[in-house]
Amino acid sequence: MGQGSSLLAGERGVSNVTAFTLLIGITLVGVVLILVTGYVSIGETNQQANMEVAEESMLQVDSALEGNRGNDTISLPDQLDGNVDVSNDQSYVLTLNENDKCTTGKRNLSSIEYEENNQRVAYEGGGVWRETESGTTMTSPPDVSYNDGSLSLSFVEINGNIQSTDELETKTNATRQRIHQENLTRYLYTDTDADDLSYVCRPSEVENATLEIHDSKYASAWARWAKDNHDSQLVTVTDPSTVEPGDTVTITYQLGDVSPAEFEVTDVRATRASSGDDVKVTATVENVGGLRQERDVEFTHPWGSETAQPTIGGGESKEVTFYIDSNDLSSGTHDLTVTADNSTTTQLELQNSNPVTDVDLDASGVPRSAAVGVTPSATVTVDNTNGGMTAFERLTLREDGDVTAKWNVTVPPGETKDVSVGGALPTDNTGTQRCSSAGTWPLTARVRRSTSPPARTATSASRASPCRRTPTRTSSSPSSRR
């Protein structure tokens, strides 16, 4: 298989750490029906064949092929002589994450069918189906298993012709089966049109699988089976009442963690770029459940309300944004509340009807030298004494460009707040620290620390403060800051 073999081998490593099991057990390919040669006649065709006899025979076929047992022999009653055929007119498609690059493409959905006087019984997709004048029904379910977010399906591709005989012999081609399974895996997870076989749908990132049944005479029975046997919150199905024979039936399964979605709100903050602008309110909304879902997130404040409808997958988070019209603002302390499955309220204090923040960072509380291996006492002061509204700041510490710590700081107008940063200073090795505050401007200074062992702290080198005001600031207006 060349590149394909390498990919498949690597995939086994990936599957060990996936949060769910996706069992694409499409085991089927090499099943071949071969008639036993000979001259044994099963008698003349009986036009009044009993449909129950045909149904029992198809259940025998299902049992013989179940679990890919391979070679088996099935006895066909005399009544079925000449009325049993193999059909590959119908097909199925399996697609992951609704991505047309992650699909099996159309594959044969073989059936063995008995027909008599416009009534039919068939083995198809691992199930047994029946068609009468009143419509189609399922006698035995298809070989599709869905449980706890894991999907397994096994459809047999059948080749061969059925003639007059009293036995039906099944044989499995193991080599063809293995190659077919490898090809399906490659098609499902990679872009086969690309030069390399890189993942498009990684197993660990698969959230849903869509099974389509095409051109089946038993389409409405497929749809009713899927609708009646699955939780509608986890599986969506084409409405059976709209399905006619030969129509496409679509069944979409949610995979992985299928626990209910739960939206949790945190970090509500308000900012204003300049006087006269609307107040921008943001909140972090995290789905701490499993299912990807769209939910209402409501923002309420003294001057009105607003609703957003984010779609968030399990374990993911999004920042939602709302605005308060600048013309509605009034002085005072006001509650801003964002609600999903929980509510988070923050207070916005306005000293007048058109205020802004005016924030400085003071790092004079950070020592100019530190001993290797010792946590220093270090404080950064966020100063909003000249501001007219509450400042919601995010203080960030970086070492050699990498973020090592963050602090969310809320400072009412006319006040200051001290943030202890000593525990986050990496005094175990040398590097460069940069402090910045979202909504103001970055503050940068080089930091050097001694590489001496703790026993020789007296020789620690002096250093510049990791956070101090930039010397280029020329105006108190936030728009002039860099």
Question: Average pLDDT, stretch 204-226?
Answer: 93
As a whole number of angstroms, the distance between CA 352 and CA 408 comes to 25
Beta strands 119-124 and 208-214, pairing class: unpaired
Band of residue 477 on the pLDDT scale cut at 50, 70, 90: very low
Band of residue 63 on the pLDDT scale cut at 50, 70, 90: confident
Q: 341 forms bridges with which residues in the sheet?
A: none
Report helix angle 3-15 to 174-189, nearest 10. Answer: 70
Asked if 294 and 320 touch (Cβ cutoff 8 Å), the reply is no
| pLDDT, tens digit (0-9, with 9 covering 90-100), for 378-417 | 889 999 999 999 999 988 887 777 888 899 999 999 999 9
Domain spans of the chain, in order of start: 3-205, 263-350, 360-480
Asked if 395 and 433 touch (Cβ cutoff 8 Å), the reply is no
**Per-residue pLDDT at 193 exceeds 60:** yes
Cβ atoms within 10 Å, residue 45: 14
**Per-residue pLDDT at 354 exceeds 70:** yes
Beta strands 208-214 and 249-254, pairing class: antiparallel
**Per-residue pLDDT at 298 exceeds 80:** yes
What is the pLDDT at residue 172?
Answer: 59
Question: DSSP labels for 406-466?
Answer: EEEEEE-TT-EEEEE-GGGS-TTS---EEEEETTS-EEE-------S-GGGGGGPPB---S
Q: 395 forms bridges with which residues in the sheet?
A: 407, 437
167 Cβ contact list (under 8 Å, min separation 6): 35, 36, 73, 74, 75, 76
Q: Do the domains 360-480 and 263-350 match in fold?
A: yes
What is the homologous superfamily of the domain 263-350 according to CATH? Answer: Immunoglobulins (2.60.40.10)
State the chain's mean pLDDT as an integer. 75
| pLDDT, tens digit (0-9, with 9 covering 90-100), for 249-290 | 999 999 888 888 899 999 999 999 898 899 999 999 999 988
Residue 261 is given by DSSP the state P
Asked if 94 and 100 touch (Cβ cutoff 8 Å), the reply is no
Band of residue 49 on the pLDDT scale cut at 50, 70, 90: very low
What is the pLDDT at residue 55?
Answer: 81
Band of residue 376 on the pLDDT scale cut at 50, 70, 90: confident
Residue in the structure block whose two tokens are 């970086």: 398
Higher pLDDT, 19 or 280: 280
Q: Which has the closest alpha carbon to 76: 161, 157, 166?
A: 166
Cβ atoms within 10 Å, residue 418: 12
What is the pLDDT at residue 136?
Answer: 94
**Per-residue pLDDT at 237 exceeds 90:** yes
Sheet containing 279-287: give its strands across: 263-271, 279-287, 317-324
What is the pLDDT at residue 177?
Answer: 64
User: Which tokens is 133 given?
Assistant: 């004048």
Band of residue 310 on the pLDDT scale cut at 50, 70, 90: very high
What is the pLDDT at residue 74?
Answer: 65
Higher pLDDT, 44 or 288: 288
What is the pLDDT at residue 428?
Answer: 66
Cβ atoms within 10 Å, residue 233: 12
User: Which tokens is 56 given?
Assistant: 């029992």
453 Cβ contact list (under 8 Å, min separation 6): 372, 373
Cβ atoms within 10 Å, residue 133: 7
- Outline where 124-277 has alpha helix (H): 174-189, 219-228
pTM surpassing 0.75?
no
Higher pLDDT, 478 or 374: 374
Which CATH number fits the domain 360-480, given the four candidates 1.10.260, 1.10.3470, 2.60.40, 3.30.70?
2.60.40
| pLDDT, tens digit (0-9, with 9 covering 90-100), for 103-144 | 888 988 988 888 877 888 999 998 999 998 889 999 999 989
* Weakest-pLDDT range from 17-21, 335-339, 435-439: 17-21
Band of residue 174 on the pLDDT scale cut at 50, 70, 90: low
As a whole number of angstroms, the distance between CA 317 and CA 296 comes to 14
